[in-house]
Structure 1
Amino acid sequence: MGKLIELNDGLRLVVCENPAVRSVSAGIFVAAGAVNEIPEEAGISHFIEHMVFKGTRRRSVFDVVNDIDSVGAQINAYTSRAHTCYHTVSRDAHAAECLDVLADIYLDPLFDEDALERERNVVIEEINEAEDTPDDLCVDRLFSAFFKGHPLGNNILGTKKSLAALTSDSLRAYRRKFYTPARTVVSVAGNITAEQAEELVKEKFASFAGESLPRVPLPSARHASGAFTRRKKDIEQVHIALAFPGVAYGSKLHMAANIVSSAFASEMSSRLFQTVREKLGLCYGIYGYLSAYENNGAYVIATSVSPANAERAAEAIRDEIRLLLKEGLTPAELEKGREQLKTALVLGQEKTSVTMMAQGRHALMTGELYDIDARLAELDRVTAEDAREAAETMFRPHCAAVSVVGRDPADISSVIRG
């Protein structure tokens, strides 16, 4: 069980002690992501994530990574739709050095103009890479179509046009607005005591102060019913991604929806994998996953097939959805999905990095500790009726959004909704 400590001006610290390991994972989570951006600054959260590594008053761009490499640690970061995270993992002996680097880049980035111009080109290449990665492109376009007009439809990378308009001043203004104590969670897990972690964080974040904008909940779910998006690409396969209404993070159906996902499309023994790949031989891989946010969500199914098989694959997916809605999960599928998720939770908590991530995200979204025993108990309470309700909530074909990318991608949306 972890410990949640509130520090200066609303800064929160989550600590999960694990004396059985010799590592410490640390992360800084901030409620600043694509959902917070206006069109003119699209991609700014992600651009800031890049730029904080480009030097502080105490460290050059080389020193930032060299100070981590010199103690054998690892540092990285990511930007999501709802938040940004900066994180490290190291031997327990070097937790203080890692927290010092994390705090330095988080609190005191320079946003140097020359570095900004270089990094702008780097992010443009990242956009180019995403454009050349059809499965990523397909899902990005899917979210933009499914959540059209909603903040969750914002593209994390932004566009080349929006990036061109970003300046050091605009990055500083955005950072001042969102990088505040009350919007920040520090998560630490591993061979470190709560007292040690609190002392370190108080020391490293002593200068962190300021008022925060109130956390404004995302607007209620608004899906572009019947959305379809198609992008022509000179590639061998057609990439297909489907989005259905999901469930909110922590809602009463959240665990049931995860069990449905596991049985329907997340495992090699799942219905879609067994039908579309093993029985029909139409694809190499097919998978589904739940993207859950504070009061919104999406359930995504993705695969890639030869153009001639696109309609047949869509029909197979549609038929499996119909069967699920008609008959529900079998008792064996319900128990298998339950056990898959419980095992994933337990095994994940044996890794300090997974624990740190789970606690940080959960505290940022809910203001509470992530209690694995409570999650396991929730899974045990899921009934067949809960699973049926979750499936009926998610799989509403008339609400489905469809994204296809390929040489001459057919409009399979009518098949899915048929």
Structure 2
Amino acid sequence: MIRSDRLPNGLRVITEHIPHAISASAGLWILRGSRDEPAEWSGVTHFVEHLLFKGTEKRTALDISREIESVGGALNAFTGKEFTCVHAKVLHHHVSVALELLADIFLHAVIPEEEVERERQVILQEIRTVEDSPEDLIHELFLSSYWRGHALGRSTLGTAETVGILDRTSLLSYARLLHDPRRVLLAVAGNVNHDEILEFAQSKLGLPCTASEDVPLEKPVPHRGLHLHLKELEQAHICLGTLGYNYSHPRRYAFHVLNTLLGGGMSSRLFQEVREKRGLAYSVYSFQASYVDAGLLGVYVGTSKEAVPEVVRLLLENLDRLRREDVTSEELRIAKEQLKGNLLLSTESTGSRMSKLAMNEIYFGRQVDVADAIREIDSVTGQDVRETAGELFRAEFLSLSVLGDVEGDRLADISLSL
């Protein structure tokens, strides 16, 4: 059973009672992410997220770790493009411990000066880890060129330069912006009591907070192009991407099916064509990202530098085939069963169900029942997939990024056309 309430200050409380669940998962979702940052403060949300765990007015960092681990729980956080989440998972009878910790680190983090400098070094190492991981790096490079000049094209981590200039005063100032209750929701899933969760929120999260100014979102514009990033590597890493749908788009289910057919598993077209039939890659897959006002669909391949032209040709051919030809009934069936299976299996996790509560509220303003989602997936036809491919797989939306020790001549004959 799902219930929701809104406190007088605007903060939303959403719970799902799961009687058989041993665990309970709780998350404070703050509707501020990296796309809300000014360019000169890129990475500030992620920096603040790290510092939330470094001590509060009544708990040290060690106290926080000991308190959650003493009940067998886990406490963590992540920063996304459009939101930040601090979350915990515990045995259901310890949910009050999780909630108390979440509220304390969110509202009462002190951000000590010495921790700012120490955590700055941790984040700089995190940035270098991405730079040393070609598969991670090519995704960042692709986004930065595809959504050039837009916040969605910037890394949530920021850069060494922007992270380097953020001081404690700046971080405290930004942390206070996160406290706007209109942009916060508490989601809890498990064997929990909604009224008790609501009472806790009223007691610990109902304090009046200064509302931040709403800044209109700037919609990103895709940039077509071919971008070569030279780096001495054993492999060449490729990202080819095109326009996608926003999170609540009416054709989102056809979009999911299209992505699954293209490169969502071992039976997908790209896995079969690039890896199984030709042995040109170990890793090949498609991916999608959807936001409140934009989306993209991309393909990643790691291959030899000699094979780059052939691999790109195969990728473009497969995009074009999905525009021009109907998918087989068997392909469509498998893709839909894969999506439905993944969705249903996720319901076994209270963490997944907690996230689903929040994401539905953020992007739809209502809860989307699993049974309704299953019906929507089942209703997708081959014609829906072909029409979606025709709308998205267009030359004017295509962008290609290549990372590796690849000579420019190898890309000379590549044409981003369909």
Displacement of 1:233 in angstroms is 2.3
Displacement of 1:413 in angstroms is 8.5
What is aligned with 1:335? Answer: 333
What is aligned with 2:124? Answer: 124
What is aligned with 1:298? Answer: 296
Provide the C-alpha distance between the structure 2 equivalents of 1:96 and 1:215, rounded to a whole number of angstroms: 35
Query: Residue 185 of structure 1: SS of its match in structure 2?
Result: strand
What is aligned with 1:417? Answer: 416
Aligned residues, how many?
Answer: 416
User: Could you tell me whether the CA contact under 8 Å between 1:225 and 1:401 is conserved in 2?
Assistant: yes
Displacement of 1:200 in angstroms is 2.5
What is aligned with 2:368? Answer: 370
- Of 274, 280, 283, 1:282 maps to 280
Structure 2 vs 1, CA of residues 208 and 339 (structure 1 numbering), >3 Å: closer, same or farther? Answer: farther
Provide the C-alpha distance between the structure 2 equivalents of 1:195 and 1:414, rounded to a whole number of angstroms: 64
Q: Which amino acid aligns with 2:324?
A: K
Provide the C-alpha distance between the structure 1 equivalents of 2:89 and 2:413, rounded to a whole number of angstroms: 48
Q: How does 1:148-227 map to 2 (within 5 A)?
A: 148-207=148-207, 209-214=209-214, 216=216, 218-226=217-225
What is aligned with 2:271? Answer: 273
Provide the C-alpha distance between the structure 1 equivalents of 2:215 and 2:371, rounded to a whole number of angstroms: 28
Displacement of 1:56 in angstroms is 0.6
Displacement of 1:335 in angstroms is 2.0
Structure 2 vs 1, CA of residues 341 and 215 (structure 1 numbering), >3 Å: closer, same or farther? Answer: farther
User: Could you tell me whether the CA contact under 8 Å between 1:241 and 1:404 is conserved in 2?
Assistant: yes
RMSD: 1.7
Provide the C-alpha distance between the structure 1 equivalents of 2:334 and 2:22, rounded to a whole number of angstroms: 33
Task: Tell me which moved more, 205-214 or 229-238.
Answer: 205-214
Provide the C-alpha distance between the structure 1 equivalents of 2:208 and 2:352, rounded to a whole number of angstroms: 26
Structure 2 vs 1, CA of residues 394 and 191 (structure 1 numbering), >3 Å: closer, same or farther? Answer: same
Identity, in percent, stands at: 32
User: Could you tell me whether the CA contact under 8 Å between 1:8 and 1:181 is conserved in 2?
Assistant: no
Displacement of 1:313 in angstroms is 1.0
Displacement of 1:311 in angstroms is 1.2
Structure 2 vs 1, CA of residues 69 and 108 (structure 1 numbering), >3 Å: closer, same or farther? Answer: same
Q: Which amino acid aligns with 1:59?
A: R
User: Could you tell me whether the CA contact under 8 Å between 1:29 and 1:364 is conserved in 2?
Assistant: no
User: Could you tell me whether the CA contact under 8 Å between 2:244 and 2:392 is conserved in 1?
Assistant: yes
Query: Residue 294 of structure 1: SS of its match in structure 2?
Result: coil
- Show CA shifts across 1:41-81 (max 9, x none): 01001101101111110111111111111111011111111
Q: Which structure 1 residue ranges, 5 or more long, are not aligned?
A: none
Query: Residue 367 of structure 2: SS of its match in structure 1?
Result: coil
Provide the C-alpha distance between the structure 2 equivalents of 1:274 and 1:266, rounded to a whole number of angstroms: 11
Displacement of 1:208 in angstroms is 5.4
Displacement of 1:215 in angstroms is 6.3
User: Could you tell me whether the CA contact under 8 Å between 1:23 and 1:90 is conserved in 2?
Assistant: yes
Q: How does 1:7-156 map to 2 (within 5 A)?
A: 7-156=7-156
Provide the C-alpha distance between the structure 2 equivalents of 1:225 and 1:178, rounded to a whole number of angstroms: 35
Query: Residue 4 of structure 2: SS of its match in structure 1?
Result: strand
Query: Residue 414 of structure 2: SS of its match in structure 1?
Result: helix
Provide the C-alpha distance between the structure 2 equivalents of 1:323 and 1:81, rounded to a whole number of angstroms: 32
- Show CA shifts across 1:75-103 (max 9, x none): 11111111111111110111110111111
User: Could you tell me whether the CA contact under 8 Å between 2:399 and 2:416 is conserved in 1?
Assistant: no
User: Could you tell me whether the CA contact under 8 Å between 2:274 and 2:314 is conserved in 1?
Assistant: yes
Q: TM-score w.r.t. structure 1 length?
A: 0.95
User: Could you tell me whether the CA contact under 8 Å between 1:317 and 1:416 is conserved in 2?
Assistant: no
Q: Which amino acid aligns with 1:276?
A: V
User: Could you tell me whether the CA contact under 8 Å between 1:55 and 1:110 is conserved in 2?
Assistant: yes
